[in-house]
Amino acid sequence: MGLLVLSCVVLALAIIKLVYAHFFSPLSHIPSASVLAPISRLLWEFPAEHRGQVTLALPKLHKKLGPLVRIGPKRLSFYDIDIYKQVHKPGSAFVKDPRVYSQFVQDGHPALFSITDPKEHALRRRHMGLLFNRSRVPFLSQMMLEEVLHFGELLRVLSTRNGLIDLIPTCRALEADIVSRFAFGNAIGAVDSLLSAGKELQIIRENDLQSSKMPLYTNFPSLVKTVQFLLSTFSNLTGRYRSSLESQIKFEEWANDQLKATLDPETAPGKSFLKVMAGARILEQCALSEAKEMLGPGTDTTSATLAHILWALSLNKPLQEGLVSDLAAAKWPTDMTALESIPTLMACVMEGIRWTGAAAAMLPRIVPPSGAVLGGIQVPGGTMVSSSPIWYLRDETAFPDPDRFRPSRWLGRNNKDLATLQNEHYVPFSKGASSCVGIHFAYLELYLSLSQILRRYCIEPSDISMVDIECEAILPPRREWVSAVPISPLRVHLSERDL
């Protein structure tokens, strides 16, 4: 009898919740992603997010349902460039959602990416501008060039050893070494690990996997912390460490050693982010967290973009040879200004960033307490609103055939209206106060690595019978979490160029 009463009460509460969510909640007039979405974010959003499908499914729903779609009881997805500009404008009152961004915090010290308080964020960003501003980034050319040349050697060894090269892990090793050398003063040794052991450095692989685990961390933070605590207690008691925990411990030791070396005038590296930031600008431990946190957004994005561009060039010999001849005519420059003034290089890199859409996250923001009008619709304060910058990069009006790698769309550009539309929709680094601080760093890295790899190697498709084809590459199938991950390897052959 008791059980029956309890069941009736639970059922009644569920019906009340359902009726309230669908008919009386302040968001009830906004179309829902599914009948379950208004009741709980775990019923529609989480499963889609967990499968790496949420950013792939939502644009299709927006096409049917309009610019605002309800994806949870107090959560909206928006897809409209004017709303995007409103939410992400400089000085915007829409703050980063602490529930999501706090999951990126390292050692209890929020870094630029995970700081959600606008004042604290602006201050940290001012400090970091010293290293990331357009005028400072060209000083990084020499360091990047050394890493790219070392990477060239890895490509030679892998070509001889394996024949085919999978560009995703290989490019990730290069970018991990560049970003870690910039951040800590010394490269983490990702290229050396592939060279000597033929294996990806575990911590770099783990960092990549972290992106796919984010939906778990943000939706079940306490559960994840409990499981992590239990696993690490078990490891400490038994002395048996899972490889992911072991690699995390090694990374922590390595990072602490870098900090010690930085603080000792005798061993300090010539230049590094850690050296500039530690002590003088922020607490040493905060600077260390900042350097560690940078490894994620700095590595996956640029490396996936480089891998996609090289793969696309392998399928289009005339495009590749045209680019090589323009680079040779410019005498293979290595400084930023000369590189960015080669139109074909600039077009391949801009198109590569657009086409790859590496930073796929939905960038959740909280509507200010006074509420806001989004696309003519009143949205109450406290609602979480989100949109992925990569949706605008695939806008079919601004970028016809968006899934095709077509650098020519950035050349000539005689149609002024189309050019304006494209400029408006080109938001791979987002906009406003929290837009990517590494934008100039990323462009320099991509210009330099692409040109220096092409200087030494001819990139050929994995199917060697297609060597002379001229094909516009189509975006490989993928899953999207914080970053986009192709489902299959991106393989190419390399042959040394005879220049």
Q: In the complex, what is the shortest distance from the CB of residue 349 to ligand HEM, in angstroms, rounded to a whole number?
A: 9
Give the nearer residue to ligand HEM in terms of CB position, either 125 or 404. Answer: 125
Residue from 438, 461, 493, 494 touching ligand HEM (CB under 6 A): that is 438
Question: Which one among 17, 51, 99, 125 touches ligand HEM, defined by CB under 6 A?
Answer: 125
301 part of the interface to ligand HEM, by CB under 6 A: yes
Residue 438 token pair: 């590494």
Q: Which is nearer to ligand HEM, 319 or 359 (CB)?
A: 359
Of these, 428, 447, 485, 486, which contacts ligand HEM (CB under 6 A)?
428
Neighbour-count burial of 424, counting CB atoms closer than 10 A to its CB (0-12 exposed, 13-18 middle, 19+ buried): middle
Q: Which of 194, 348, 359, 362 binds ligand HEM (CB under 6 A)?
A: 359
CA max distance for the chain: 87
- The CA-based dihedral angle spanning residues 478, 481, 484, 488, taken in that order and rounded to the nearest 10 degrees: -40
What is the residue whose two structure tokens read 């960033």?
Answer: 353
- For residues 393 and 427, the answer to whether their CB atoms sit within 8 Å is yes
CA angle 335, 338, 342 (to 5 degrees): 130
Q: How would you write 409-470 as a 3-class SS string? A: HHCCCCCHHHHHHHHHHCCCCCCHHHCCCCHHHHHHHHHHHHHHHHHHEEEEECCHHHCCCE
By CB under 6 A, residue 298 contacts ligand HEM: yes
Q: Is 340 in the site for ligand HEM (CB under 6 A)?
A: no
Q: What is the identity of the amino acid at 49?
A: E
Residue 309 makes contact with ligand HEM by CB under 6 A = no
Q: Which of 451, 393, 449, 459 is nearest to 165 (CA)?
A: 459
**Contact between 363 and ligand HEM per CB under 6 A:** yes
Nearer to ligand HEM, 383 or 434 (CB): 434
Tell me: does residue 305 bind ligand HEM (CB under 6 A). Answer: yes
Q: How many residues does the chain have?
A: 499
Contact region for ligand HEM (CB under 6 A) — 76-84, 149-157, 234-242, 356-364?
Answer: 356-364
148 binds ligand HEM (CB under 6 A): no
- 3 state SS of 249: helix
Of residues 139 and 234, the one with the C-beta less far from ligand HEM? 139
What would you report as the CA-atom Rg of the chain, rounded to the nearest whole angstrom? 24
| Nearer residue to ligand HEM within complex by CB, 180 or 334 | 180
The site for ligand HEM, by CB under 6 A, has a size of 25
Please identify, among the stretches 147-155, 214-222, 415-423, 429-437, the one whose residues bind ligand HEM according to the rule CB under 6 A: 429-437
**C-beta of 332 vs 429, nearer to ligand HEM:** 429
Given the complex with ligand HEM, which of 387 and 452 has the nearer CB atom? Answer: 387
Q: Is residue 282 within 8 Å of 127, Cβ to Cβ?
A: yes
Point out which residues bind ligand HEM (CB under 6 A).
112-113, 125, 179, 294, 297-298, 301-302, 305, 353, 358-359, 363, 389, 428-430, 434-438, 441-442
